[in-house]
Amino acid sequence: MLNETPKTNKIQAGIYLIKTLNYGGSPVFPPGFSATDICINLNPMKLNLNCGDFSRIVCSLADFDNHEEVLLACDEQTGLRALIAVHNTFRGPGVGGTRLWKYENDVAAVTDVLRLSRGMTFKNAMAELPFGGGKAVILAPDFSKYQRSELMRAFGRAVSKLEGRYFTAEDVGTSCDDMSEIRKETECIFGLKETSGDPSPHTARGVFLGIEASVAERLQCDSLKGIRVLIQGVGHVGYHLCSMLHQSGAQLFVSDINRPAVEICEQEFGATAVSPDKVYDAEVDIYAPCALGATVSVETLNRLKVSIIAGAANNQLRDAKATEELQQGDILYAPDYLINAGGIINIACEMNGSYQPEKAAREVAKIKPRLQEVYRRARTEGKGTCVVVDEMARERFQMQGFSKVRGPETVMESRHPAESIAY
């Protein structure tokens, strides 16, 4: 485990990065290190680490998918323990948010960063952005012992050592204020207050458009009035989604372990509260998972009484068995990484150095026709939406020819203009 007392490989480092495998298929190792023991020394401090153990943990996990880089960054003084994964950079640098979370164990954190970074490759490709897939998770420390601002700055120093191969942004558990601290140490960041700001409303907008398209596809309705939607997780994105659905006349049911967040939705939108243990048994039309992922499993699918699954959570399908069950069942699934891409599309509009909200809104609106195309192909080809969207994404991210970005001021130009936003 990552927090075990290591037995070998004493490394002098305050923040250190461990590259677990080959980058871009052609390994270049520093003198004295093997393929499983690559360490980049950043700051002098006595720390012990068994690099080989970390590498073996990563590469043995089922969610390891030929990731280009998986790195561990630690800093004893600030309490930083973070993982950065770069999955695929064919379209450009790995771009994805930084999640701050208290994980059940270290393997759960590694699994999460592997799945999330892979999902960003597919998400950015389907959104036709000149980005590859990357993601970071920070293992939440005891903030009574450490200063949050200093931890974020330490993380920023770790990001800077990747030299533009990974760009970060806000995600679950982090905020615009955190991004401002990270920015003090690296230029490889999006979503600052002074640029595109909080991505949550844009993520919610994309999910809302996905729900509209799904209702038209499955229920043959051109209105959401009276449609029963259960939103699981009413944090930043879930709250904004509730607001949009309420304005459209949908009947709302909400569930969250944070009771005050539920009460706000009850008061502002007339939502009906559902206890977390009753979510999968509710009599509703749409299940919208907007918290953490992996809630759609064979077990929950057998309980759900819905016609549509469409939500903001990443990696909603727990495993391959859930995917197979969906394909064989009657529930229409709106692929998560397609409809929840509004946030990353929004921050991509920073690229020319002049963020325009109206332009961001136009780009987010393209989510709806993309989903409609997935549904059309699924009907025509007799395939599940999961299969179709993955095929479409692979067609995009396996196309090379996209220039790599080394700083946020760079305007990325593509040799295939039709495949990317014109900045």
pLDDT of 230: 98
Cα(first)–Cα(last) distance of the chain, in Å? 44
HSE-CB of 243 using CA atoms within 13 angstroms: 12
Q: What angle do CA 234, 359, 176 make, to 5 degrees?
A: 45
Look at residues 224, 222, 258 and name the one whose alpha carbon lies nearest to residue 241: 224
The whole model's pTM is what?
0.82
| Mean predicted lDDT score pLDDT of the chain | 82
Q: Quick one: tokens of 242?
A: 């509730």
For residue range 26-43, what is the model confidence (pLDDT) as tens digits?
A: 333 333 333 333 333 333
Alpha helices in 298-418 (DSSP H): 298-303, 320-328, 336-339, 342-348, 357-364, 367-381, 385-397
The number of angstroms, rounded, from the C-alpha of 247 to the middle of its chain's C-alpha atoms is: 27
| Catalytic hit among 7, 46, 123, 135 | 135
Check pLDDT > 70 for residue 407. Answer: no
The predicted model gives 210-218 an average pLDDT of: 98
Q: Which amino acid is at 10?
A: K
Choice between 31 and 71, residue whose per-residue pLDDT is larger: 71
Strands 251-255 and 272-273: parallel
For residue range 80-131, what is the model confidence (pLDDT) as tens digits?
A: 889 999 999 988 999 999 999 998 887 888 889 999 999 999 999 999 999 9
Domains observed in the chain: 10-183 (3.40.50.10860), 200-396 (3.40.50.720)
Under a CB-based contact definition with an 8 Å cutoff, are residues 183 and 155 in contact? no
Under a CB-based contact definition with an 8 Å cutoff, are residues 296 and 316 in contact? yes
Look at residues 59, 74, 56 and name the one whose alpha carbon lies nearest to residue 3: 74
What burial class does residue 212 get, using C-beta atoms within 10 Å of its C-beta: 0-12 exposed, 13-18 middle, 19+ buried?
A: buried
According to DSSP, residue 245 is labeled H
* Helices (H) then strands (E): counts for the chain: 14, 16
Residue 135 annotated in active site? yes
For residue range 278-318, what is the model confidence (pLDDT) as tens digits?
A: 999 999 999 999 998 889 999 999 999 999 999 999 989 99
